[in-house]
Amino acid sequence: MAGAALVALLAWQAVVTLGDLPRFILPGPQRVFATLWASRALIAEHALVTAIEVLVGLGLGAALGFATALLLVASPLARALLRPMLVFSQAIPVFALAPILTLWFGYGLWSKVAMALLIIYFPVTSAFFDTLMRVPSGWLELARVMNATPGRILWRVRVPSAMPGFASGLRLAAVYAPIGAIIGEWVGASNGLGYLMLLANGRAKIDLMFAALIVLAVLTLVLHAAVDAVCRRMWES
């Protein structure tokens, strides 16, 4: 990771130097990191707002995806009704929903949470549902021979076997959730990293915009690493 970051920084500096690009087009990494340090309090304030939006959206989206996947497995009627709706929901660009959610939930926290939830709901549901349906048939037959009820088969056989799929969905969600929050902030917000990026761009403070972008990338990487660590710990236990 450190090596890749160093290569990226060197390539960035090379593009700026060799292309002789002006600062309002692409500032160099040294200037961006100087701005990041000088504006650390401002950026941290907005980063905290985005982090809260992402964490709440991730938690709600994961819980809703988990419950939906269980419902789809347990009920053939739910599979017949909900699966086409889930697939159809992916045909609608999530960007197009942001203004509607802002209209419904306002410019505060919940419109951004709703965006993050929508963007991660399908990956979590799909990954968990697929693994729930791919449990080895021998395990299911053995449970039925032992007179296990459908509920016990679901919770004692299917769910433990499908947890790696749920973990995969969570890892994807950790990457996608910040995207949803930032889209919501671009449409309408008074704080957050997305709002700060738009504000900096409108005032031609490109170095501040890049600084906020770097913080967003670091936030996403940290969130993904944390979710991965939790999933590994749950799986190993």
User: For residue 10, is it within any domain?
Assistant: no
What span, in angstroms and rounded, lies between the C-alpha atoms of 214 and 30?
13
User: For residue 2, is it within any domain?
Assistant: no
Q: Which portions of the chain are predicted below pLDDT 50?
A: none
What global pTM score does this model have?
Answer: 0.88
Write down the pLDDT at residue 237. 55
Write down the pLDDT at residue 235. 66
CATH number at residue 47: 1.10.3720.10
Q: How many structural domains are present in the chain?
A: 1
User: For residue 76, is it within any domain?
Assistant: yes
Amino acid at 210: F
Write down the pLDDT at residue 49. 94
Q: Which domain holds residue 119?
A: 28-236
Write down the pLDDT at residue 236. 59
User: For residue 4, is it within any domain?
Assistant: no
Nearest to 111 by CA among 53, 38, 155, 41: 53
User: For residue 12, is it within any domain?
Assistant: no
User: For residue 232, is it within any domain?
Assistant: yes
What separation in angstroms does the CA of 9 have from each of 22, 93, 141, 182, 219? Answer: 17, 33, 56, 24, 18
User: For residue 133, is it within any domain?
Assistant: yes
Write down the pLDDT at residue 92. 79
Q: Which ranges constitute the DSSP H helices of 134-192?
A: 137-145, 150-153, 159-187
User: For residue 115, is it within any domain?
Assistant: yes
Is 171 in a helix, a strand, or coil? helix
